[in-house]
Amino acid sequence: MASRTLVAVLTGAGISTDSGIPDYRGPNGLWQRDPAAQDLVTIGPYLADPEVRRRAWLMRRDAGALGAEPNAGHRALVELEKAVPLRVLTQNVDGLHQRAGMPARKVLELHGTAHRVQCVRCREGSTMAAALERVAAGEPDPACRACGGILKPATVMFGEALDPVVLEQAAGIAQACDLFVAVGSSLQVHPAAGLVEVAVDAGARLIVVNAEPTPYDGLASEVIREPISAALPALVTRLAG
């Protein structure tokens, strides 16, 4: 690969499952096991129903996402960043790319971060760890300490719009890249999934690495179905060579 080729990598939940973070939509995903769990990450039910919020806080407490460790897939992308110009566009909110050693300036978090919380009324923020400490201390639905409003993760929940500034930055990267690699994403959640078309329409080559078929497989020059923790290091070896 030419040394100045810009590679854009869109990552979804599938890259983090080997770190113990379950996906939502896969065959063994959270929504397959518990369809009602979708309410816990959907803004309408979350704001309307205190019981949904209480269940959501318990889910965050028990998920262990804050203590998850990067896996071979995350580490492979760190190695690729050392070899070629690279930007990571991630649908994930777990921060594992940065934890693996990817420079934060190279990671665009399309759906925000689960490591912080914010008030929906006054926008005051704090760490997720601090909020979970309050849950552990007996507050089933901790409210904003500044104004009493509802706290939510600093993530884009289902039913919310992406930050237009972040989306514009992502579209610019997709338009500028020479190779677009979609890893572990169902490519069903828009507008993030539409970045594939932006890249391909601008002339980029597309590689899809995902266990299940996606709506954009037909546009790809290569589709890889092997497990990501094995497939991505092998792909990076080829791309960095």
Q: Which pair of structure tokens corresponds to residue 8?
A: 């854009």
- Give the list of residues 6+ apart from residue 171 with CB closer than 8 angstroms, or none: 195, 198
* Catalytic pick among 97, 111, 115, 190: 111
Alpha-carbon distance of 138 to 52, in angstroms, equals 17
Cα 48 to the center of its chain, rounded Å: 25
Q: How far apart are the first and last CA of the chain?
A: 7
Q: Which pair of structure tokens corresponds to residue 85?
A: 């110009």
Element spanning 233, H or E: helix 228-240
Question: Phi-psi region for residue 80, left (φ > 0), alpha (ψ -120 to 50) or beta?
Answer: alpha
Distances (CA, A) of 46 to 56, 58, 164, 193, 225: 8, 13, 23, 24, 35
Which amino acid, one-letter code, is at 130?
A
Sign of CA dihedral 212, 214, 217, 218: positive
Sign of CA dihedral 9, 14, 17, 18: negative
Query: Is 115 annotated as catalytic?
Result: no
User: Which positions are catalytic?
Assistant: 111
